[in-house]
Amino acid sequence: MFFMTIQVYRIKPEIFILFRYGTLIARYIKKRKGCVSAVRKRMWFMGICVFLLLPLLFMWGCGGGKKEVAGPGGDPIGDPIIIGSALPVAFSYGWVGERGIRLAVEEINAAGGVNVGGVMRPFKVEVIDTRDLEAGVPVSEALLAVEKLILEKKAHFLVGGPARTEALLPTLDLVNKHEIIHISSTGSFSPRSNQMVKDDYEKYKFHFKTTCWTFTMLGDFYGVLDSLKEEHGFNKIAVMVQDVAHARQAGEIVSKRMAEKGWDVMDPIIYPTGTLDYSDGLLRARKFGAQVLFVWMDMPESVIMMRQYRDMQIPAIPIGFINAAEHPDFWNATEGKGEYTLNHLVNSGNAPAVVTPLTMPFVEAYKARWGVEPEGYGASSSYQAIYTLKDAIERAGTIETYAVLAALEATDMEGVYGRVRFDPETHLVMHSLDPAEGAVPQIIQWLDGKRETVFPPSIATKQLQLPPWMN
């Protein structure tokens, strides 16, 4: 009956025993009521207290109770550190980011976990689908996912998304409300989130980013475009972008900057998310005489554009940020028609290249775990985000938010894509073409079925090539 009561009502054994002892003693006192003096009553009361405590002390001393010793941050020793990841899992930024996060967590846990003030604690990942890259899905869904990670999953830290800029920006207000550190590791190329940190540090200081943003990526493109002008005399460019914030912004900046550099710029073409036919824009580019197609799209349908580009033999080289062209399966998806496409992978390590001693071991580990090379943007930066967080926690000696915040701001470590440091004003990872100075970008070109790195020169595996029909 004793154990049945415990199982049915889920009562802890020690609490049940205490209750039973108390009941029996209360009955005994009731029988003796009026038979003892005040002094004896006090003595009886002290004796009863000791008698009640003895069984509990015995049970805990013998290991019958749960030994919960308060560790750093007030959590029980050895409990997992929960990483909440809000990601669009049906899109590449989502699943690639999740794979990078899980790979890092698995490696860290296999090595013993995170040393938090002398106590080894494992990471635990909780992922909720934001759907924020799907057409027609309201921003509110992504915000609900983030809040659920904080309130229901009890996440200690947020790493990953949201990926869409329109969803990330209001997320920063949630992060501030709950005072939880957020590391953006995939998606959202707009500089706005990090500018918010600079403009109002006290409100948005919990936000960090381990990826580069639009401005740094465009600087890389200018280097490639300048070399095309110098070596081949190119001076006409057609800009084609997706109708989302970061892409429209990139198109506007490129159009203005290249015009200032003396290039003829075709009026930008803006395609709605999910567009399935790009032939009209490609024909306009041919008529304009464009030698470069600057494309900025994160929708998977952009693979159709590259097929049409090749079928129509457009005499221009495609270059930009093209989601579909990131992945190892791009060659098969286009039946080889995507050859000569140049694509920015944001951070290096998202395709094979020797950047630091950590890069190729990461590439090989990713391939061994997931059966494919890193699939593009979000892989190396998400993987690096977890190791960067681990480093900060261990230096802080606690998972307390403000201590880890200070440790993150002081980060200076070697990563898979170069030196990892955060700008003190914006909390954006520092960008550089030199891996000894900062996070190195990676622009690849599809050649003979492979993703060959053509920029920056410090990590290049091949020189840029023009399509033969341009000759």
Q: Mean pLDDT, to the nearest integer, of 380-389?
A: 97
Q: How far apart are CA 264 and CA 392, in angstroms?
A: 48
- pLDDT tens-digit profile of 308-320? 999 999 999 999 9
Residues 6 or more apart whose CB falls under 8 angstroms from that of 65 comprise 14, 56, 59
- pLDDT tens-digit profile of 436-468? 999 999 999 999 999 999 999 989 999 999 999
pLDDT for residue 28 is more than 70: no
pLDDT for residue 387 is more than 90: yes
**Burial state string for 48-68 with b = 16 or more CB within 10 A and e = fewer than 16:** beeeeeebbeeeeeeeeeeee
| Predicted confidence band of residue 70 (pLDDT cuts 50, 70, 90) | very low
Which pTM was predicted? 0.78
Mean pLDDT score of the chain: 85
Gyration radius (Cα) of the chain, Å: 29
| Predicted confidence band of residue 40 (pLDDT cuts 50, 70, 90) | low
Q: Please return the burial class of 6, using the count of CB atoms within 10 Å of its CB with bins 0-12, 13-18 and 19+.
A: middle
Alpha-carbon torsion, ordered 405, 411, 414, 420, to 10 deg:
80
pLDDT of residue 54: 47
Per DSSP bridges, beta strands 236-242 and 413-415 are unpaired
